Amino acid sequence: MKPVTLVTGGAGFVGTNVADRLLGDGHRVRILDDLSRPGVEQNLLWLQAEHGSSVEVEIGDVRSPKTLARCVRGIKGVFHFAAQVAVTTSLDDPIDDFRVNAEGTIRLLDALRVSGARVPLLFTSTNKVYRALPDVRVERVEDRWMPTDFGFREHGVSERRHLDFCTPYGCSKGAADQYVLDFAKSFGLPALVFRMSCIYGPHQHGNEDQGWVAHFLIRALQDEQVVIYGDGAQVRDILFVDDLVDAMLLATRRAGVLAGQAFNVGGGADNTISLLELLDLIDDVHGARPRVRYAEERPGDQRYYVSDTRKLRRATGWEPRVGVAEGVGELYRWLAEARPRRVAAGA
């Protein structure tokens, strides 16, 4: 039997897209997921319907040593996406946030160490490891905040920036980030880290706390109000999920060379958008803007975050291919088609 790739959190948004790509290329995939997030069970059913017996499923907790010992047997690589993903949830329950993100990651790493499996591992970290960029001066330019430093404006945040964890979520993901990098150094695990900006695309069941591009589109489709925290001029670089999967596969193929390194990953300076600009784009694709209510900024929110992706591009030759308008339009069409199915399934 062919070796299998382990995808933790494999029924989630990014996990589903990675698993689908691997399965479509003829690989076997083992999914570990506790199915705790709304909508992910539909992703899993879709993967099974599309790919049949090539999908192995382990319903379980990434913190369980027994579960992990089973999951790492006979694997040829790991994509580690299982996580608590919301800043707000981490503020409500920092202990559980730590246990899922930090403890879950080190237990997976140790399961690999104990098993002797020296296989590529890619871990998805977060831009929250850089805090809210309080030293970066910004100015309001129409519907977006922009850095006053034009060099920073041209390239964004690089991996040379010092780490400064913010919020329990930033701390738990940051701790996991550092453990992954250290296991590469201390134990020779060919592991690397992607510090992620805003990813969007099909199979994303976004909500107010995570997946804001999909969340805004879902609200528009449901004719419901969107809450914007702050003034809406916050800028992010958004990356379509197909481009992310391309980057992940390119990086893991070179894991032996890139092990122990972190890469900032997002759409980069060419794929930026503010929340207000997204509302305008939704008006274009949907024919109406969602209703908006404004609230105070949330702790740790960055008025401007754009990934400097030059290190990743140099290391792998990767280039994002899907522009903002094209990608948002594709996600809108997927959500419009998927929404009746979710309603019928009781989601």
Residue pair 204/337 in contact by the 8 Å Cβ criterion:
no
Percentage above 90 pLDDT, the chain: 88
pLDDT digits (tens, 9 = 90+) for 33-54: 999 988 899 999 999 999 999 9
Q: Which of 120-134, 209-223, 270-284, 328-342 shows the lowest mean pLDDT across its residues?
A: 328-342
Residue 146 in this model has a pLDDT that exceeds 60: yes
Cα angle 212-228-195, degrees, rounded to a multiple of 5: 40
> What pLDDT was estimated at residue 344?
40
Helix residue spans in 191-266 (DSSP H): 212-221, 241-253, 255-258
CATH architecture of the domain with residue range 4-344: 3-Layer(aba) Sandwich (3.40)
| Residue bearing the bigger pLDDT, 205 or 233 | 233
The total number of residues shown for the chain amounts to: 347
Q: Which of 2-16, 120-134, 193-207, 332-346 shows the lowest mean pLDDT across its residues?
A: 332-346
Secondary structure of 107-122 as H, E, C letters:
HHHHHHHHHCCCCCEE
With a CB cutoff of 8 Å and minimum separation 6, the contacts of 238 are 197, 198, 199, 200, 213, 266, 267, 271, 272, 273, 324, 327
In which band, very low, low, confident or very high, does the pLDDT at 340 lie, cut at 50, 70 and 90? Answer: low
pLDDT digits (tens, 9 = 90+) for 161-171: 999 998 999 99
pLDDT digits (tens, 9 = 90+) for 203-212: 998 888 889 9
pLDDT digits (tens, 9 = 90+) for 244-276: 999 999 999 999 999 999 999 999 999 999 999
Element (H, E) at 275: helix 275-286
> What pLDDT was estimated at residue 299?
72
Instruction: Give the integer Cα–Cα distance in Å for 196 and 127.
Output: 6
Q: Which residue has the tokens 């996580």?
A: 83
> What pLDDT was estimated at residue 343?
40
The residues carrying an active-site annotation are 169
In which band, very low, low, confident or very high, does the pLDDT at 347 lie, cut at 50, 70 and 90? Answer: very low
Residue 346 in this model has a pLDDT that exceeds 50: no
Model pTM?
0.95
DSSP letter for each residue of 133-170: -TTS-EEEETTEEEESSHHHHHH-B-TTSPP---HHHH
Residue pair 87/209 in contact by the 8 Å Cβ criterion:
yes
In which band, very low, low, confident or very high, does the pLDDT at 112 lie, cut at 50, 70 and 90? Answer: very high
pLDDT digits (tens, 9 = 90+) for 308-320: 999 999 999 999 9
Instruction: Give the integer Cα–Cα distance in Å for 58 and 287.
Output: 42
What tokens appear for 301 in the block?
Answer: 């929110």
